[in-house]
Amino acid sequence: MVTLWNFGNYMHSNNTVKEVVIVGGGTSGWITAAYLAKTLNCKAKNAIKVTLVESEDIGTIGVGEGTFPTIKTTLQFLGISESEFIKEADATFKQAIKFDHWQYDPKTYQERNDYFHLFDVPKGAPYFDISPFWLAHGQQDFDESVSAQTKLCRNNQAPKKITTREFDGLNYAYHLDAVKFARFLRKYSIEKLGVKHQVATIDKVNLDDDAFITSVETTDGHTIRGDFFVDCSGFRALLIGETYNVDFESTQKYLFVDNAIAIQVPYPKEDSPIATHTISTAHEAGWTWDIGLSGRRGVGYVYSSAHTSHERAEQVLREYIGEDAEGLQARRIPMKTGYRTKQWHKNCVAIGLSAGFIEPLESTAIAMIELAAKLFSEEFPYSKQAFSILEKQFNDVFIYRWQAIVDFVKLHYLLSKRTDSQFWIDNTNPASAPQSLLDKLAKWQLSPPTKNDFPSIYDIFGLESHQYVLYGMGFKPDISLKQAAMAQQEGMASNYLQQLAKQEANLSAQLPKQRQLIEQIKQHGLSKL
């Protein structure tokens, strides 16, 4: 039992955290550094010191170009101008993910075979769930029936106008150049937020008698001491993996893809349209991403090496790109998919690839970095006596999040009706899915999902995201027993759909094309008022 007088002892100077050392740069390191420095007010006198150590010898993966709408909140919290960010990170607006050929094999299914996972919530949400009425009467695809954003995406229209304030407009995220973004964050964190930066390669980690990290040593003979260490060393996982040997929970039995091959594709013309959504196209052993930045496209094929060869994967990618791929170099990236069973251990927390990685289908990598940096900063362990308590809280939250992401990503595969390759046959086998996902689908088969199925504040993908994927993939719950209950809300549903038609017409007439807006922002900037 802890008595009140104990708390005075907790604040003894020997028990306080005064220095945080972040090992590794890239997107994870610099987002974490910026979040910590902002939260802890590192520029203030006697503030906690945040030092980031990164090596020039270790390159960044640099293909994490898709983000989640949480990125807007992160940028705003850090005090970053949206206009400046767009210019420096070669960013464009992302309103959705478009899924092509996920439901059927295009060789045998000639009708349109796509759907959008929109960032816009369905019309009426969160006050009214229109999905049962769509299930009963819908003539169009679900995304088209409940949001104007699908039409905007198909027309490559932006989610806002040049006169719209920074971060306002329809709900959106960004596509960005990961290398340029990390470089921008580094400069901002050092100059504006007070982060200390050291370029060095770490070759030794020192522990005390209780296995807490006391310092790291660099190849040039320097020792960097700290009270808390953040592992942002990527797949290497120098601290959480190599030093602490924390168990890694592989997700390979559920999600088969384990490699990616990527090509940066220039636009054929300077005024080529820029897609305002990620395009995810299903293929024989995986799927391609297609992301439009202002100066180029980032295109890659995520695939299972158990179902195809690396040579065939590159062929599929080049066939998808077409003649624009001629003469361009492809880069293969092995992926270690899964997560650490503990993200926080002793006085070390892993953030980014060192903590885990689930395939990039729903752009969760950067979002998980943001969420980890935010939680760690908000629940910062000022006192060393709080380590074990905060460790458990942090780990519980992120195990929940990793498992929820696995369920949601697997959902895309499990509902497919493709049988054209062993990859899809294996993926649609219920034995390849977590029991937690099978239980959800069993419930939803009897009754459509509701807000009650997503009660946690730590849910990354809530009701609306699940609706877009479930109904986009042709999942149809039984609503026959709900007809009487639904009848009393028919008028409300009809009213919402009329409002949607008006909104869609107004937005389609007013909003510019993506390229036009990006060029205007680079020239004039968005309004800050």
The span from the CA of 215 to the CA of 234, in Å, is 19
Place of tokens 């270690």: 336
Contact 458, 400 (CB under 8 A): yes
Phi, psi for residue 115 in degrees, rounded to 5:
-160, 165
Angle between helix 387-414 and 364-378 (nearest 10): 160
Enclosing H/E stretch for 87: helix 82-88
**Active-site entry in 49, 72, 87, 94:** 94
Cα dihedral 66→68→70→75 (10° resolution): 20
The span from the CA of 41 to the CA of 33, in Å, is 12
Q: How far is residue 451 CA from its own chain's centroid?
A: 22
The span from the CA of 122 to the CA of 172, in Å, is 14
The span from the CA of 342 to the CA of 395, in Å, is 6
Enclosing H/E stretch for 279: strand 278-283
- Assess whether the previous peptide bond of 126 is cis (omega < 30° from 0): yes
Residues 6+ apart with CB under 8 A from 276: 92, 93, 94, 95, 96, 152, 153, 156, 157, 158, 159, 292, 514
Q: How many CA atoms lie within 13 A of 248 on its CB side?
A: 21
Contact 444, 470 (CB under 8 A): yes
Burial of 296 (0-12, 13-18, 19+ CB in 10 A): middle
Both tokens assigned to 527: 């309004």
Both tokens assigned to 411: 């959902």
Contact 508, 157 (CB under 8 A): yes
Among this protein's residues, is 94 annotated catalytic?
A: yes
Both tokens assigned to 370: 């943001």
Provide the strand spans (E) within 284-428: 286-292, 296-303, 331-334, 338-340, 344-345, 348-350, 356-357
Enclosing H/E stretch for 188: helix 178-192
Task: Enumerate the active-site residues.
Answer: 94
